[in-house]
Amino acid sequence: MQQAFWVIFSACVTVASAAVAADDLGDAEAGQAVFAQCKGCHQVGEGAKNRIGPHLNGLFGRPAGALEDFKYSKSFQRAAASGLEWHADTLDAFLENPRSYASGTRMSFRGIKNAKDRHDVIAYLRLFSDDPANIPEADPTATATDHDLDPAILAIQGDPEYGEYLSSECTTCHQADGGDDGIPSIVLWPEEDFVIAMHAYKNKQRQHPVMQMMAARLNDEEIAALAAYFNRLEN
Amino acid sequence: MKMNRRAFLGKTALVTASLAAPAVLADGHGKPRVVVIGGGAGGATAARYIAKDSKGAIDVTLVEPTRRYYTCFFSNLYLGGFKEMEDLGHGYGGLAASGVNVVHDWAIGVDRDAKTVTLAGGSSLPYDKLILSPGIDFVEGAVPGWDITAQNAMPHAYKAGSQTELLKAQLMAMPEGGTFATVAPPNPYRCPPGPYERVSMVAHFLKANNPTAKIIVADPKPKFSKMALFQEGWANHYEGMIDWIGEDFGGGNVSVDPAAMTLTIDGEETKVDVCNVIPAMKAGRIAELAGVTDGNWAPVNAADMSSKADPDIYVLGDASQQGDMPKSGFSANSQAKVCANAVRGVLTGSKVFPAKFSNTCWSLIDTNDGVKVGATYEATPEKIAKVDGFISQTGESAELRKTTYEESEGWYTGITSDMFG
């Protein structure tokens, strides 16, 4: 499996290298707009933290799967072991089709098909890859997820064992191994994000009818328990 | 507002009860023994969850005659050409690897006093708790003229496998402009939208391959699951192809002649080229042999799916008579998890959490035109009762219908890995 992955991955890099010269970065300003579609999961800029996806400060030159406090998919752990590093060429190939590049990634994103958009967003990300101390005092590009949830709800410590029992209702659709096709992955999310998302369904701010129905009858402790369980799930 | 485990336990009467009396019911024979009959959405899930969550503390044996299981859900998509038969096939190796003793044999008897299950191969399996998830069998004489000897001429295709492949072959061999007939079953039956999704998939195939062909549906019911959605879809995609004859027009007064390939509806005989007869259903035969049925189905207690006739027997899925849940793979999977949690609690003293049930049924009407209906349920002293629900709306955007279909594919992957590991 590891070998198969490496072969596919090498092929992608070769193609991508031809497409993007190292200095052929796009327009960072335009890239900021492209980055809007990444912001739901990734933060970049001053104070950026790992959320559903890892933060993207200092991305250039960083080995894949290298942030110690982020739980990567097995696919990215393998990529890291194979020596994948993030540069303009590898990012270009990855962003074009994330799933074909790293088949088991939990990044539920179809990719950016337009080459110029990719180059622009790569140029934008490049701004945050200098020495972190020098990050320009620009407007933050990602703010905390918008919500008006009672801090007392966010402070509830979930019981992962209860969450495990409750999770059996989720895993009928959401795969426990983090795979997603048609239905998003919910494993290893930061607990806060999970709780905010579930309450947004419960309060009918998020629109999906199945999720509104499932969330409607979960109380605050149960949502916290699920967040705790899925956050710790090993796959 | 902090919730620790102690606070949680105090809130849940069931839990404190099971902790106070951690009854380990092994009756002096070592590990407690659970036998599960039927390896579908109910049985496979129950076996897997009990083995997985008891971490070896319970011996779990699954009795399932087939080596490879073909899911009834999504089998209509095979008829429509959206799936291959092998996409629907699943082996039991994952269950074996997770500690379930998988026995490929037929269960032919249950001795409730001795607490043993007799297998067709001659052996006998002792149990402390028995879980029956045998699915459905057909009511004899339900459609005059049809019986099991006629199923090759007029397939039911309502247990996925060779019957489904036979129906597909007959569909493909239909003469140009021929007639495909479906005899729909009375309530309650497995997969309420199933016959109508099937009609949609047959129409999809015929529209592309045999566009002057016709479809007749004889239905003993005045209305059916997702009726408005299907009828809208049939008008949009298959205009003039499908003739649904409901109860009002004699759709329940039906007989067939498999030798002559005729279908008689309310006295009017029609020559048909393919006839898909889906007879009235009842619990899988072993439930009757175990003596836990009342009429066609096996009544159960909603809190844990235990049989009303025997506290050591549980009945899951289509075979059970539980209240408001439809007979579906999703329902069986949901019931199995409640049952697994309860059985573990009784046998090992593990925590028992309150029962929660849910169901969603997706149906495909045409390419990328998916619809769904679903609900959540709770256990009351009388039955499993509906709490809340939703259904797709008529006139939805093509984009939403496509997302709904993609979601159903995700669900298929999710539930089959939840069942088989």
> Range with the lowest mean pLDDT among A95-99, A180-184, B126-130?
A180-184
Mean pLDDT of A114-122: 91
Tokens of B171: 């569909």
Q: Which CATH number fits domain A2-134: 3.30.505.50, 3.30.479.10, 1.10.760.10, 1.25.60.10?
A: 1.10.760.10
Beta strand B68-70 pairing with B89-91: antiparallel
- For residue B413, give the nearest of A152, A179, A224 by CB distance: A179
Is the pLDDT score of B229 beyond 50? Answer: yes
Read off the pLDDT band of A3 (50, 70, 90): very low
Of A153, A217, A225, the CB nearest to B388: A217
pLDDT at B416 (0 to 100): 96
* pLDDT per residue as tens digits for the range B313-372: 999 999 999 999 999 999 999 999 999 999 999 999 999 999 999 999 999 999 999 999
pLDDT of B4 above 70: no
Predicted local confidence at residue B264, as pLDDT: 98
Query: What is the length of chain B?
Result: 421
Residue B3 has pLDDT above 70, yes or no: no
**Is the Cβ pair B353, A174 closer than 8 Å?**
no
Tell me, what's the pLDDT at A51? 87
Of residues B63 and A16, the one with the higher pLDDT is B63
Q: Is the pLDDT of residue B7 over 70?
A: no
* Model pLDDT, residue B415: 96
| Alpha helices, H only, chain A | 2-19, 28-34, 74-81, 88-96, 98-101, 115-126, 151-154, 160-167, 191-202, 209-216, 220-232
**Closest residue in A to B2 (Cα–Cα):** A156
> What percent of chain B stands above pLDDT 70?
93
Question: For the purposes of burial, counting CB atoms within 10 Å of the CB of B121, is it exposed (0-12), middle (13-18) or buried (19 or more)?
Answer: exposed
DSSP H or E segment with residue B386: strand B384-391
Asked if the Cβ–Cβ distance from B330 to A156 is below 8 Å, we say no
Check CB contact under 8 Å for A209 and B390: yes
Domain ranges of chain B: 25-137+282-354, 152-279
Summarised one tens digit per residue, pLDDT across range B37-90 is 999 999 999 999 999 999 999 999 999 999 999 999 999 999 999 999 999 999
Q: What is the mean pLDDT of chain A?
A: 79
d(CA A175, CA A16): 32
Tell whether A156 lies on the interface with B, counting CB pairs under 8 A. yes
Give the 3-state secondary structure of residue A14. helix
Instruction: Say yes or no: A235 contacts chain B, CB-CB below 8 A.
Output: no
Look at residue B250 and give its three-state secondary structure: coil
**Residue B217: strand pairing partners:** B182, B244
Smallest Cα distance from B295 to chain A, Å = 31
B413 has a chain A CB within 8 A of its CB = yes
Q: Same fold for the domain at A2-134 and the one at A151-232?
A: yes
CB contact under 8 A, A221 and B5: no
The pLDDT value given to residue B10: 40
CATH class of domain segment(s) B152-279:
alpha beta
Query: Per-domain residue ranges for chain A?
Result: 2-134, 151-232
* C-beta atoms of B376 and A155 within 8 A: no
Closest partner CB to A210 (pick from B353, B360, B417): B360
Report chain B's mean pLDDT, rounded to a whole number.
93
Q: Nearest-CA residue of chain A relative to B358?
A: A169
User: Contact at 8 Å (CB) between B60 and B39?
Assistant: no
Cross-strand bridge partners of residue A16: none
Class for the domain spanning A151-232: mainly alpha
State the pLDDT confidence band at A235, using cuts at 50, 70 and 90.
Answer: low
The angle formed by the CA atoms of residues A16, A20 and A26, to the nearest 5 degrees, is: 135
Pick the CATH number of B25-137+282-354 from 3.40.50.720, 3.40.309.10, 3.50.50.60, 3.40.50.10540: 3.50.50.60
Which residues lie closer than 8 Å to B13 by C-beta, 6 or more apart?
none
pLDDT digits (tens, 9 = 90+) for A131-189: 433 333 322 222 335 577 899 999 999 999 899 989 988 998 888 887 777 788 888 88
* A157 close contact with B: CB closer than 8 A: yes
Residue B53: both structure tokens together:
């969550």
Quickly state the pLDDT bin for A198 (edges 50, 70, 90): very high
Q: Provide mean pLDDT across the span B119-125.
A: 97
User: Residue range A33-45: average pLDDT?
Assistant: 89
Express each pLDDT in A58-85 by its tens digit: 888 888 888 888 888 888 888 788 788 8
Q: How many other CB atoms sit within 10 Å of the CB of residue B96?
A: 14
3-class secondary-structure state, position B15 = helix
Q: Is B374 in the A-facing interface, judged by CB distances under 8 Å?
A: yes
Look up residue A184 and give its amino acid: P
Chain A to chain B Cβ contacts (< 8 Å): 100
Q: Does B377 touch chain A (CB under 8 A)?
A: no
